[in-house]
Amino acid sequence: MLTGTDLRRALLIGLWFMFLTFPLLAIKVNPIEQTVTWRWANMLWVGGATTVIALACRFLQARQAARQERIRLGLEPPPATWNFALLREPRFALPLLGATAVFLLAFPALFSSYQVNIMITALMYVVLGLGLNIVVGVAGLLDLGYVAFYAVGAYAYGLLHLHFDWGFWTVLPIGGLLGALFGLLLGFPVLRLRGDYLAIVTLGFGEIIRLILENWSEFSQGPSGIANIARPGFFGFELSMEESLVYLYYLMIGMALFTVFVVNRLQNSRIGRAWFALREDEIACQAMGIDKTRTKLTAFALGATWAGMAGVFFAAKTTFINPASFTFLESAIILCIVVLGGMGSIVGVIAGALLLILLPEYLRAVAEYRMLVFGAILVVMMILRPQGLVAPMRQTYTPPR
């Protein structure tokens, strides 16, 4: 299947990448002591790996083309498509849901508190991903400053606790409301902007919030952050460190379920359909009589609400917050979750969050390469599978015959 030309091309690609990565990968200098370390092995690795990858791509392409040709000629039946709709049938769905529920409920009893901690983080990202999914996946507004609302929630709890000694349960709805308010604040001025400009403005907004938190020390205590934030209370009982972690875990499960429920209901509501319409075609959407302003603003506000509440949870979990937790990279991770999972798909976003947060925790060897892989995922998904791992299912109406 592979011809000599393919082999030559692959070798050329390997050589090109060896040239490309030569100064940065093969040489390491120490400008202070004026010494050079040559790392030729790296260069060979890059050359070999890219050649193999290029060959593999070429091979897969050729095989795919051959199969398509056979299907076209009727020599081979078309492949059976794996259908997620099967999972919706009660005989599969019920046992699966039951097993997941039992596993999640028994989790703190089965695993150490370290694992519980990681799971809480993953669930937090599920909530964040679902929130951003409203804005990016459903309404099609690329928001690169989502972490700003997360910061708003976290600082709302941190500051209100510090100054007024307000508790977790009081601040949770306030955090959500503040998030929504900031969402509106960002939403109003950017209503007129097109996709890519919108992305840059939201990025600027996110950075402005972080820089203000960092520099306005009288308000936010600057880079040193706020410490000793209280964990959520349990009807006035004193909880040990471990117990409060387990308690937080169950709260987080509740929060995630609540989010899934609301987001699911929203997507099939009038406003949800308006969001989908807005994503597909703004002009056609307006022509159908949908109020574009209101639709965009609700998307920003409702998306930001979840980030605000997740922020309160974050502050309660770590008991310490500072601006360094709310950089652009955090926004990029959440975006990566939504893109990997499938923009607009709830199941996809949950899977994406669990994959991206849990995998690096358990594969310590690759943890170092985490952000490198996240960047690559964004590129590769856009090229190979823009609809994400789990493509969203649109409800369709089949008229009775």
Partner 1 sequence: MEYFIELFFSGLTRGSIYALIALGYTMVYGIIGLINFAHGEMYMIGAFTALIVSTVLSIYGLPLLAILILTGLAAAVWTAAYGFTVERLAYRPLRRAPRLSPLISAIGMSIFLQNYVLLAQTSDFLPFPALIPDFAFMEPYAAMIGSTDLAILVVSTLILLLLTLLIKYTRTGKAMRATAQDQKMAFLVGIDVDRIISLTFVIGSALAAIGGLLIASHIGQINFAIGFLAGIKAFTAAVLGGIGSIPGAVLGSFILGLTEAFATGYVSSDYEDVFAFSLLVLILIFRPSGLLGKAAVDKV
Catalog residues that contact partner 1 under the rule CB under 8 A: 16-17, 19-25, 27-32, 34-36, 42, 140, 142, 144, 189-190, 192-197, 199-201, 203-205, 207-208, 211-212, 215, 283, 328-329, 332, 335-336, 339, 368-369, 371-372, 374-379, 382-383, 386
Nearer of residues 143 and 244 to partner 1, judged by Cβ: 143
What is the closest distance, in whole angstroms, from the C-beta atom of residue 332 to partner 1 in the complex? 6
What is the closest distance, in whole angstroms, from the C-beta atom of residue 75 to partner 1 in the complex? 30
What is the closest distance, in whole angstroms, from the C-beta atom of residue 193 to partner 1 in the complex? 6
| Collapsed DSSP state (helix, strand, coil) of residue 396 | coil
* Spatial CB neighbours of 281, under 8 Å, sequence gap ≥ 6: none
CA 298 to CA 285: how far, in whole Å? 16
Nearer of residues 261 and 369 to partner 1, judged by Cβ: 369
| Collapsed DSSP state (helix, strand, coil) of residue 30 | strand
CA 395 to CA 265: how far, in whole Å? 13
CB 322 within 8 A of CB 371: no
In the chain the first and final C-alpha atoms are separated, in Å, by: 48
CA angle 242, 247, 251 (to 5 degrees): 145
Nearest of 73, 63, 69, 65 to residue 1 by alpha carbon? 63
Q: Go through 366-375 and write b for each residue having 16 or more CB atoms within 10 A of its CB, e for each that does not.
A: eeeebeeebe
Nearer of residues 140 and 153 to partner 1, judged by Cβ: 140
Tokens representing 125 are 């990202």
Q: Go through 59-73 and write b for each residue having 16 or more CB atoms within 10 A of its CB, e for each that does not.
A: eeeeeeeeeeeeeee
Nearest of 331, 264, 272, 281 to residue 299 by alpha carbon? 272
Nearer of residues 122 and 199 to partner 1, judged by Cβ: 199
Nearer of residues 168 and 300 to partner 1, judged by Cβ: 300
What is the closest distance, in whole angstroms, from the C-beta atom of residue 197 to partner 1 in the complex? 5
What is the closest distance, in whole angstroms, from the C-beta atom of residue 175 to partner 1 in the complex? 24
What is the closest distance, in whole angstroms, from the C-beta atom of residue 366 to partner 1 in the complex? 12
Nearer of residues 318 and 387 to partner 1, judged by Cβ: 387
What is the closest distance, in whole angstroms, from the C-beta atom of residue 266 to partner 1 in the complex? 21
What is the closest distance, in whole angstroms, from the C-beta atom of residue 208 to partner 1 in the complex? 5
Nearer of residues 194 and 270 to partner 1, judged by Cβ: 194
Nearer of residues 248 and 338 to partner 1, judged by Cβ: 338
* Spatial CB neighbours of 70, under 8 Å, sequence gap ≥ 6: 76
CA 285 to CA 139: how far, in whole Å? 12
